[in-house]
A and B are shown apart, each in its own frame.
Chain A
Amino acid sequence: MLKFISLGLSLFLFLSFPHPLQSSEVFPYNYKIEELENGLKVVSVPLPNPNIISYYTIVRSGSRNEVEPGKSGFAHFFEHIMFKGTKKVPRAAYDDFLTRLGAGTNGFTTDDFTCYFTIFAGRENLETVVETESDRFINLYYDEEMLKTEAPVIEGEYYASVSNPGRKLEEILRDTAFTAHSYKHTTLGYLKDILDMPNQFEYSQLYKKRFYAPDNSILLVVGDFDHNQLMEYVRKYYSSWEKSNYTLVTPTEPPQKEAKRVHSPWPSRTLPRLAIGFHGPAFSDENIDKPALDLLAKIAFSPSSTLYQKLVLKEQKCLTLDASFDDARDPSLLTFTSIIKKDEDLPYVEEEIFKELDRLKTEPVSAEPLAEVKSNLKYSLAEELGTTDGVAGILAFYLNLTADPGTLNKLFGLYEKVTPEDIQAVARKYFDKSSSTVATLSEGKTQ
């Protein structure tokens, strides 16, 4: 049968960088950072990838900023409001603009930031994108009725995940583990606060004034454009954006003194779930603790780990076993999760996880798994950096943390330095059972 071979333009469509992969320079692209007088940072990464541009606006405000009672979920709600348009370009005209541009566009909200992205083809469209995007950040216009119509959409988004037990488990884990800090609630927020969003017009104006400002935002542009041309457009269209000068004070989470436990019954048949959380440090590309914990989590819970091989593959007690530790601006939770096959095995899996954490305190990890995890992290990142939008997506997270693309190389430099002793030290420091929170979910009658 005939073989098909594509050549031609496709030869030029992908990013390339030197290989084999260097250990110290995992982010291989040149970038520039400039700052306007109003405080707006602009990070540009021109790439030799014809025709595609990823245009990201990072507002350093997420559910972390929801420090006042009754306001959980507000950062995410405001992300929706940001699509309401301006007097110059009302919503319908904004939609028409994006439609004709054929752009892929959306937003997302995390614990720490809210991100708006527009991916489009054609460098000739860059100026209109800069003009239109700057307009909605500077001149957003919506009235109370528009807000009231949008609020139930959040309720709908809540419903979209209501059948997902993973979301429920995360909700109860956070709510139990944190007492003061706003990481206590998920990005979506508590249902009671979601239901009250139609009444929050005044607060929404205050929220916008505090956080949607150039001194709290970063513009990230990746792809096929000229940096100087970009900056000419940015100065032209963003310079009138006024500073906020607002300083957020997030509550300090007091040390947890006693182990906590919470359970949620699920109203129908489900595989039981377990999550164990410990309070960990904030992201840092200077202190060794967070990178050491990242590596520890992977050594102990990745598919190649002893515990995974035992519980998932050999004994087949678990469907999944995982660890997650988000890079966060404030101290956040290091969480170990598992979907278990039988209810009666929940205590056993919990015990095995604690035993493994205790073992890490007393036995230094050997050099081989440490090297394998470092290798895994490098190659995983290299794959994610394979396209224009991949580069933008990764950078957005790190820019939120440090406003510097160089943080990626710094972080991976720290990974290289982590020793078995560092891992043992952080295991002792952070995995005290009295500071743990265990959350479980299994079939049972709800209240």
Chain B
Amino acid sequence: MSKTMNRWLLGILFTWIVFMSMACQKENPNKLTSEFLPLEGNPLVQFKILVKVGSSNDPTGKEGLTQLTFSMLANGGTKAMTYEDITKAFYPLAASVSVRVDKEMSVFSGTIHRDNLEKYYAIFKEMLLNPGFREDDFNRLKTNLLDFLGKTIINNMDEQFGKEILSLMLYEGHPYHQIPAGSVETVSGITLEDVKAFYKEQMVQGNITVGLAGGYPADFPAKVTADFSALPQSFTPQLSLPAQSLPQGLQFIIADKQTPATAISMGFPVTINRSSKDFFALWIAGSHFGEHRQHVSLLFQKIREQRGQNYGDYAYIEHFIQGRDKFPSTNYCRQQQYFSIWIRPLANSNRHFVIREALLELKRLVDEGISKERFEMVRTYLLNYTKLYAQTLNERLGWQMDSHYYGYRDFLAEVQAQLPKITREDVNRAIKKYLNFENVYIAVITQDGESLKKALVENTTSPITYANPNMPNAVLDEDKIIESYPLQVKPENVRVIPAAEFFKKAGLPR
């Protein structure tokens, strides 16, 4: 029997033993969980340490603490090694540890070639299990976070700025109320002692899922599990979130700054997440209306393709972070979700028209639903497109972890099973049940915000012009409808705030 065959059999035997022993084990919320995806022969190994703690776990007045604490693990030294030592040790291995914090979960990730697995893991585990918490690392990372909040997000990345303002609007007074980075005031007040205490409280077994994928040796999962089992046995209960409610009417926040382009994000809470049986029907509606960076998106077709007004226009039925070029990133699981529309930057002169255009298309979606032809096309599209979602080890393991968070054995397999059963009526029922066009939060980054406010409140007609003097009559006729489409905007529902005022304190500027 070949060596390869022996390794195969050994791997399968080991997996079976672990599976059976764990399946017989009574669930203990104080102990860690694990996710293994063994891929014999793969030269790479993917690590993912998922921590069911996110920015919603930040204590009031310490918003940004999760982000800063976990940055100290991924970008700081261990008890034995300075961060300088770690960067030097990682460099020849082409290795790193990254961390990402969301509202309810955070994830540490690293990919390593199997040649270097032992060297890498020896440092990786120390970074998470025995962090050094040095003053110089703390000062560096805290300053970086403050610079991001006080300068970068407001002045260097308008699209992200718009999305974060929408997030603040969606979750005022809610545990999701602050962006993970926190605010200048709250981060300024965080001490190294706060960080150490938060680590001790939250890096406990019951909060952690150890994830491994790729060509690791058969006995490696047991070693990693044993190492992380040294953490205290405890867990943080899942947050009990208040019911979400829709905004009352169209509510605008305009961040005013000097800029030639306007960035727009809009949205409202939806009451389901991926675990709901209605999710698949609503997903078809979302893909039809605004699939991320794909031509199938109706908004993309109307705003970009027919009118050339900007680079792209998309819509989502759950929190979406762009991973690679096209596909959704993993490990952003949330109990509560929201619907959003992302209008990419456009000339300031077209902003009023495009706000109207997006809201009118949303109204048409809610009123008219999806056509039979589009329903069948988009359903076929999703059945095929989702086969591309999990290509890298990171994606494969991420989707596996997210599947289990939402109660599926394999969500992408569930897509193949469920979508063929969905009917057009299911989709239109879901649209009516979960979407609306009258109660929407709208975040706008633009210049001369007061003039936009005036135009919105007074429902001023907003005609646009084209470089093409021979635009199709169908487009021009529709433009006539859009430019005077009445939006019910009350003056008290439009706040114009200087961009520099954001993120100074937790929540929206007062």
Task: Decide yes or no: A153 and B500 within 8 Å by CB, A52-B388, A102-B383 being known contacts.
Answer: no
Q: Contacts of A371 on B, CB cut-off 8 Å?
A: 92
Judge whether A380 and B35 touch: CB under 8 Å.
Answer: no
**What's the tally of chain A residues with a CB closer than 8 Å to chain B?**
85
Confirm or deny: A266 has a beta carbon within 8 angstroms of a beta carbon on chain B.
yes
Task: Decide yes or no: A148 and B467 within 8 Å by CB, A11-B40, A102-B381, A156-B344 being known contacts.
Answer: yes
Confirm or deny: A165 has a beta carbon within 8 angstroms of a beta carbon on chain B.
yes
Please report which residues of chain A, range 132-160, place their CB below 8 angstroms from some CB of chain B when the two chains form the complex. Answer: 145, 148-153, 155-157, 159-160
Chain B 140-180 near chain A by CB (<8 Å), digits 1 or 0 = 10011001001110111111010000000000000000000
Q: Contacts of B39 on A, CB cut-off 8 Å?
A: 10-11, 13-14, 16
Please report which residues of chain A, range 1-54, place their CB below 8 angstroms from some CB of chain B when the two chains form the complex. Answer: 1-7, 10-11, 13-17, 19-21, 51-52
Contact of B113 among A21, A269, A388 (CB under 8 A): A21
For the complex, give the distance between the alpha carbons of A165 and B403 in Å: 39
Confirm or deny: B400 has a beta carbon within 8 angstroms of a beta carbon on chain A.
yes
B22 vs chain A, min Cβ distance (A) = 4
Confirm or deny: A101 has a beta carbon within 8 angstroms of a beta carbon on chain B.
yes
Confirm or deny: B378 has a beta carbon within 8 angstroms of a beta carbon on chain A.
yes
Chain B 33-64 near chain A by CB (<8 Å), digits 1 or 0 = 11111111111100000000000000000000
Contact of B295 among A1, A99, A149, A160 (CB under 8 A): A99
Judge whether B308 and A152 touch: CB under 8 Å.
Answer: yes
Among the stretches A64-72, A204-212, A302-310, the one at the interface with B is A302-310
Q: Contacts of A309 on B, CB cut-off 8 Å?
A: 84, 87-88
Judge whether B466 and A267 touch: CB under 8 Å.
Answer: no
Closest to B26 in A: A1
Confirm or deny: A336 has a beta carbon within 8 angstroms of a beta carbon on chain B.
no
Judge whether B140 and A316 touch: CB under 8 Å.
Answer: yes
Judge whether B388 and A313 touch: CB under 8 Å.
Answer: no
Confirm or deny: A232 has a beta carbon within 8 angstroms of a beta carbon on chain B.
no
B256 vs chain A, min Cβ distance (A) = 11
Judge whether B410 and A6 touch: CB under 8 Å.
Answer: yes
Please report which residues of chain B, range 7-49, place their CB below 8 angstroms from some CB of chain A when the two chains form the complex. Answer: 12, 15, 18-19, 22-23, 25, 27-29, 31-44
Number of A-B contacts (CB under 8 A): 282
Contact of B500 among A3, A103, A269, A375 (CB under 8 A): A269
Confirm or deny: A364 has a beta carbon within 8 angstroms of a beta carbon on chain B.
no
Closest to A320 in B: B144
Q: Contacts of B144 on A, CB cut-off 8 Å?
A: 319
B212 vs chain A, min Cβ distance (A) = 10
Judge whether A269 and B154 touch: CB under 8 Å.
Answer: yes
Closest to A152 in B: B308
Confirm or deny: B477 has a beta carbon within 8 angstroms of a beta carbon on chain A.
no
Confirm or deny: B121 has a beta carbon within 8 angstroms of a beta carbon on chain A.
no
Task: Decide yes or no: A383 and B44 within 8 Å by CB, A19-B114, A313-B83, A341-B147 being known contacts.
Answer: yes
Confirm or deny: B304 has a beta carbon within 8 angstroms of a beta carbon on chain A.
yes
Binding site for A on B (CB under 8 A): 12, 15, 18-19, 22-23, 25, 27-29, 31-44, 83-84, 87-88, 90-95, 111, 113-116, 136, 139-140, 143-144, 147, 150-152, 154-159, 161, 214-215, 257-261, 263, 293-296, 301, 304-311, 325-327, 344-347, 377-378, 380-388, 391-393, 396, 400, 404, 409-410, 466-471, 499-500
Binding site for B on A (CB under 8 A): 1-7, 10-11, 13-17, 19-21, 51-52, 83, 91, 95-96, 98-106, 119-122, 145, 148-153, 155-157, 159-160, 162-165, 198, 266-271, 302-304, 308-309, 313-314, 316, 319, 341, 371-373, 375-380, 382-383, 386-390
17 A-B residue pairings within 8 Å (CB atoms)? A7-B38, A11-B40, A19-B43, A19-B115, A51-B387, A91-B305, A99-B294, A102-B386, A149-B308, A160-B344, A162-B261, A271-B151, A316-B136, A316-B139, A376-B91, A386-B393, A390-B392
Closest 10 CB pairs of A and B: A102-B384, A148-B468, A159-B261, A16-B41, A156-B310, A379-B94, A304-B91, A102-B385, A198-B467, A152-B308
